Amino acid sequence: MERWSGRVALVTGASVGIGAAVARALVQHGMKVVGCARSVDKIEKLAAECQSAGYPGTLIPYKCDLSNEEEILSMFSAIKTLHQGVDVCINNAGLARPEPLLSGKTEGWRTMIDVNVMAVSICTREAYQSMKERNIDDGHIININSMNGHSVVPQSVVHFYSATKYAVTALTEGLRQELREAKTHIRATCISPGLVETGFAFKLHDNDPERAAATYESIRCLKAEDMANAVIYVLSAPPHVQVGWSGLEDSEGFSKGCSDSGGGLCKAMGMGGIL
């Protein structure tokens, strides 16, 4: 991770869960991290904790509603003005609404499309353009996806969500192909975990907290820190190695996280050579 010290990373959805864990890990490795969310109170608290802990990097909170393109563009403009641009983009923000295909509300579907698909696409485009205009040839775009983007589970409340995650899978592969065509060594990676113990299920089942709690109790889950370790593992790969898709499964059958060193427990599927 030495080559990333002092460089700029954007982490979307950095206020809680996976995003907060990833932001903290990058700051621990000396990166300048712009963490964005609709509310920055928790990011500000995390930034203070990182500073108190003496981490070599910095966490910069930024308020941004990712369902609003103008706010995303303003954020990238501010990053350019204050920090020159983005070297690493972690598209982590995502959400689910319990809206089945046969009876779901259009508003819920649209919200999932806006955050899970459109925001990822816009942030990816702007991050690439930021790298290109500064002749950054070793940047990295990482999409935090889900195993729901590779398999449709028999639960109607997540079928539309799964469709948005399949889109992330396709977007990542399409991005990788376009980066090759552009003859750049900027890398693209999709990390797809099983269930991670965050507040995700409680937001999905916000009217049924017992059901949400049961979701996490029924199986052994990944921790947010496991995902942060996976991101560090991917960023630590040699410049000539492309980690295209990484699936994380637990040692007892559902989700297994990466160890602190990353390599041994992280199953990097589709590991390619030089771009």
pLDDT in tens, 252-271: 544 333 433 333 333 333 33
Active site residues: 161
In sequence order, the β-bridge partners of residue 89 are 10, 141
* pLDDT for the residue 241: 83
Sign, CA dihedral 168-169-175-176, equals positive
Res 221 pLDDT > 50: yes
Pair of tokens at residue 218: 């029924």
Residue 7 has pLDDT above 60, yes or no: yes
Query: For the chain, what is the mean pLDDT?
Result: 87
103: DSSP letter: T
Starting at the edge strand found earlier in the chain, the sheet holding 32-37 runs 58-63, 32-37, 8-12, 88-91, 140-144, 187-193, 242-248, 267-272
Taking 90 as the threshold, does the pLDDT of residue 41 lie above it? Answer: yes
Task: Note the pLDDT tens digit of each residue in 102-143.
Answer: 999 999 999 999 999 999 999 999 999 999 999 999 999 999
pTM of the model: 0.87
| Residue-level pLDDT at 137 | 96
* pLDDT exceeds cutoff 60 at 199: no
| Tokens found for residue 9 | 């990373």
Whole-number Å distance between alpha carbons of 273 and 262? 19
> What is the mean pLDDT of the segment spanning 25-39?
99
pLDDT score at 121: 99
